Amino acid sequence: MRLAELSERSGVSTATIKYYLREGLLPPGRQVNRTTAEYDEEHLRRLRLVRAMIQVGRLPVATVREVLGHVDDDSLGRTMRLGAALWALPQAPEPDTDDDHVRAARQETDELLAGLGWENARLLTSLSPAYRSLVVSVAALRRLGYEWDAELLASYARLMHRAASLDLDFVETQESEAERVETAVLGAILVEPMLQALHRLAQEEESARRYGFE
């Protein structure tokens, strides 16, 4: 397809597509002559991913470029390729290692992972922003006096493991490795807010069942 058709099918202006091409967010099309290039379904799929990251995820172009670099890095195995792409997304701040609450939260988080038998997650704790984010959250709860029971936290973790299994079941329906990683990135941007919304709706439903509308 030519640039005009790519624009029409994607709903993205030709000027914006040309900007994405200049910034390296889209691979160049197949050059037909000096002034004309052709694009295919992969360009359309990538363009939709870029638009979701920028418009919905509100990511800066530099971050999008970094994420896509990991998506396209076929020198990495699937786990590290997926992890690198997701880790490039905006993350929680680094925990303060001198904070007593952070040290206690880190120990609690390590004990949680060990109790769950999440050995692979434990191997990635030095790299994983998700691990650091969990430590920061647990530390914040401790600092405010909300010390959640360890078994309650483990129950939530088991629910999330089921959600992760569903995520990857869907990712594996994609044909190419790049499409699988792209789908996982889209999941982080689009599905996580959806899950948060479902969680809050479930809270509203359960609250109404328990306490009514009085």
Short-list 173, 164, 158, 19, CA closest to 86: 164
**83 and 43 inside one domain:** yes
% of residues, the chain, pLDDT over 70: 99
Total number of domains constituting the chain: 2
The pLDDT score that the predictor gives to residue 119 is: 87
93: in domain: no
- Most confident residue range from 55-59, 68-72, 140-144: 140-144
Range of the domain at 124: 100-211
Q: What are φ and ψ of residue 10, in 5° steps?
A: -90, -20
**69 and 104 inside one domain:** no
pLDDT in tens, 129-173: 888 888 989 999 988 988 788 899 999 999 999 998 998 899 899
What is d(CA 145, CA 154) in angstroms, rounded to the nearest whole number?
19
Short-list 10, 88, 8, 67, CA closest to 42: 10
95: in domain: no
107: in domain: yes
Quote the mean pLDDT of the chain: 86
**120 and 150 inside one domain:** yes
Short-list 121, 123, 101, 124, CA closest to 164: 121
What is d(CA 11, CA 5) in angstroms, rounded to the nearest whole number?
10
For residues 163 and 195, is the Cβ–Cβ distance under 8 A?
A: yes
Final residue of a structural domain among 60, 87, 114: 87
pLDDT confidence tier of residue 213, bands split at 50, 70 and 90: confident
The pLDDT score that the predictor gives to residue 210 is: 92
Least confident span in 2-6, 55-59, 141-145:
55-59
135: in domain: yes
pLDDT in tens, 82-135: 777 777 777 777 777 788 999 999 899 999 999 999 988 777 777 788 888 889
For residues 49 and 182, is the Cβ–Cβ distance under 8 A?
A: yes
pTM for this structure? Answer: 0.73
What is d(CA 161, CA 1) in angstroms, rounded to the nearest whole number?
41
**135 and 56 inside one domain:** no
CATH of the domain at 56: 1.10.1660.10
Short-list 92, 168, 101, CA closest to 131: 92
What is d(CA 35, CA 107) in angstroms, rounded to the nearest whole number?
60
Angle among Cα 77, 83, 87 to the nearest 5 degrees reads 150
Final residue of a structural domain among 87, 116, 142: 87
End-to-end CA distance of the chain: 59
What is d(CA 102, CA 135) in angstroms, rounded to the nearest whole number?
7
**63 and 129 inside one domain:** no
Tokens at residue 46, please?
A: 């990538």
pLDDT confidence tier of residue 70, bands split at 50, 70 and 90: confident
Single-letter code of the amino acid located at 199:
H
**122 and 170 inside one domain:** yes
Q: Which residues contact 93 (CB under 8 A, 6 or more apart)?
A: 136
For residues 46 and 8, is the Cβ–Cβ distance under 8 A?
A: no
Mean pLDDT of 177-184: 83
**104 and 83 inside one domain:** no
